[in-house]
Every structure is written in structure tokens, then in C-alpha cells.
Amino acid sequence: MKFWQQLLSKLQEDIPVYLLTVIQNSGSSPGRRGFKMLVAQDGFIYGSIGGGVMEFSLVEEIKELLQQKEQPIFFRKQIHQGNGKDKSGMICSGEQTVVFHPLDTSHISLVEDILDCLQNNQQKTLCFSPTGIEFDANGISEKYAATIQAASDWQFKELIAFKETVYIVGGGHVGLAVSQLFRQLNFQVVVFDNRENLNTLNANVFAHQKQVIEYSNIEKHIKQGNDSYVVIMTNKYTDDKLVLSRLLRKNHKFIGVLGSKAKLKTMWEVMLKEGFTQQELNTVYAPIGLQIKSQTPEEIAVSIAAQIIEVKNISRE
């Protein structure tokens, strides 16, 4: 979201911008589909399409174009090894295709629509083509879809939405740190707590949604699906157990519980007596987070984020 906010700010200042978008990649290319960079006429740069000498060279080219009277839409293939006209100057192997769209004040409403879509967690399809950028009524099931026939005949579609949502059950200090990190990772962040006037929940400016609820009906507040990640970190053992009991047999991509091994051992013993199976309990990530000896809320947040990213990305290989 921050990328689009930066882009909107420049357009509102009436500063012409080039939007660079990677629409295809293969091999060990440093730029991946969907990577974006904006280069403004005043020299401001934000984002990346892969870095290195390739990015530097393209940025310098764009800076010159922005000083000219007309700025074309164009297409550039970059090969990261070998010789030829498409050589990027990098030696990492692989290749990527980058498209370049000039934007000005006439595109403000488009960028505002993108931000509105993200802020309201709606799903729309953005279509990049040789004629411009616009919302497309024909949706796509994946995050990206590209069709490339030639430099003048191509189309790239991107699903504008928070594909993944992290539900944080417990709005304390760790919940606050987790919210901040996942906001930076472009997850939809939703935080629940059962305590009124909780200072850390009130101070949480990173969550897209915050709500004080009764944990006894937590399942009514959390959507099921392959893009749903649940992080349980309430302030009581009994509440952790209650929330996990209500969600364990639901369909979520990830459910993790914060706590010591001793606490979790006791929880497992009680839940087994209540009718849950060991196979069901084995699906829970507990103690949550990669084991990196984290201690502070910020370090714990990093360990949780790393584990969720691992689960998310391995499933897509």
C-alpha cells in the first residue's frame, strides 16, 4: 500500500512519474513478477525492479525521458547473462521483462481507486497493456497473469487485494509488534482482544481492523480459507485454549499459539481429554515462530513472520 501512497503523493504534486513493472521473470532473475518502481521527474525513486547495474541503467534512462516533452509506454526484456542487445549487465542468470508507463495527474483517480481497494480489502484486477493501465472487469484467480506475444502485443494482469490475512488474537505488546511487521509485509492485519480500553490495542495504528470481542464466538469473526493465518497470543492460558478449541477444526492455512513448551504440554493434555486428536494438535504451530531464541516482542514478531512466510511460500512452489 505504501508504494501506491508514494505514487499518489507525487501525482498530487503534479510531478510526472514513470511506473516500472516486472511482468515476467525466469531463472535466478533478481526482479520478480509484480516488482515495481516509481521514478519521478524531481529525482524521487521508490521501490525496486531487482537492483544492481540493470536498475541503475534503466533509472538513468527514465530520468532523461522525464525531461522530454513526450514519454512513451515501452517494453524492455533484460537478460542477465550473455551478450546481445537485451543484456542487462548483470551475471546472475535468468531474465525479466519490464514495462514502463508514464503517469501524470490524469492517473490520480486510478491510484486512488487502487488505494481504496486495498483499504477496504476488496479484490479488483489491474490490467497493464501497451495502451495504458486500467481496471479490468475480467478477474483472475492468481495474483498475476501475463500474455506476451511481442514488444507491442502484451498484457499483464495483477490482482489488487490483500491476498493473505493475519488474524492476531491478543492485542498486547507482542500483538502490536506482529501487527507492525505484517503491515509492512502487505498482509491484511486484523486484531482481536476481549479487554476494553487496552492501551496497546488503542495504540495499534498498524492493524487494518481492531475489535473487542468475546472469545467464545471467535470463529464468527475469522474467515476460513487458504489465505487465512491465525496467531493466538492472548494474556491467559484459558483464553488461548478456548480460542484454539473453537478454531482447530476450521479451515485455516496456519494456526499458531504463543507460549512455553510447558504451557503447551498442559494444554495438549487437556484438549486430548476433551476429544481432540493428536493428529489435530500436530497441525498447530506451537510454540509459534522459528526457534531463533527471540526474547523481545519485536524479535518474537520476526520469528512468527519468518515461519508464516515459509509456510506461505513453500506451499506455492
Query: What is the per-residue pLDDT for 200?
Result: 95
**What gap in Å lies between CA 92 and CA 200, rounded to an integer?**
45
Query: What is the per-residue pLDDT for 274?
Result: 95
Query: What is the per-residue pLDDT for 170?
Result: 96
Query: What is the per-residue pLDDT for 162?
Result: 65
The pTM of this model reads 0.67
Q: What is the pLDDT of residues 162-209, one digit of tens each?
A: 678 999 999 999 999 999 999 989 898 999 999 999 999 999 999 989
Query: What is the per-residue pLDDT for 88?
Result: 45
The structural domains of the chain, with segments of one domain joined by +, span: 2-160, 165-314
* E strand segments, the chain: 17-26, 36-40, 45-47, 74-79, 95-103, 124-129, 132-136, 144-150, 153-160, 165-169, 188-193, 209-212, 225-232, 252-257
| Closest C-alpha to 74, from 7, 21, 3, 135 | 21
Answer whether residue 317 shows pLDDT above 80: no
Query: What is the per-residue pLDDT for 230?
Result: 98
Sign of the torsion angle spanned by Cα atoms 217, 221, 225, 227: negative
Q: What is the pLDDT of residues 57-72, one digit of tens each?
A: 889 999 999 999 889 9
Residue 265: count of CB within 10 angstroms of its CB: 11
Answer whether residue 286 shows pLDDT above 50: yes
Answer whether residue 119 shows pLDDT above 80: no
Query: What is the per-residue pLDDT for 91?
Result: 47
Q: What is the pLDDT of residues 14-37, one digit of tens each?
A: 999 999 999 988 876 777 888 999
**Confidence tier at 78 by pLDDT (50, 70, 90):** confident
State what percent of residues in the chain have pLDDT above 70.
93
Is 161 in a helix, a strand, or coil? coil
Query: What is the per-residue pLDDT for 136?
Result: 83
Q: What is the pLDDT of residues 121-173, one digit of tens each?
A: 777 899 999 999 998 877 787 788 999 998 889 999 998 876 789 999 999 99
Answer whether residue 248 shows pLDDT above 70: yes
Sign of the torsion angle spanned by Cα atoms 252, 227, 287, 209: negative
**Confidence tier at 93 by pLDDT (50, 70, 90):** low
Q: Output 119 or 34, whichever has higher pLDDT.
A: 34
Query: What is the per-residue pLDDT for 117?
Result: 84
CATH architecture assigned to 165-314: 3-Layer(aba) Sandwich (3.40)
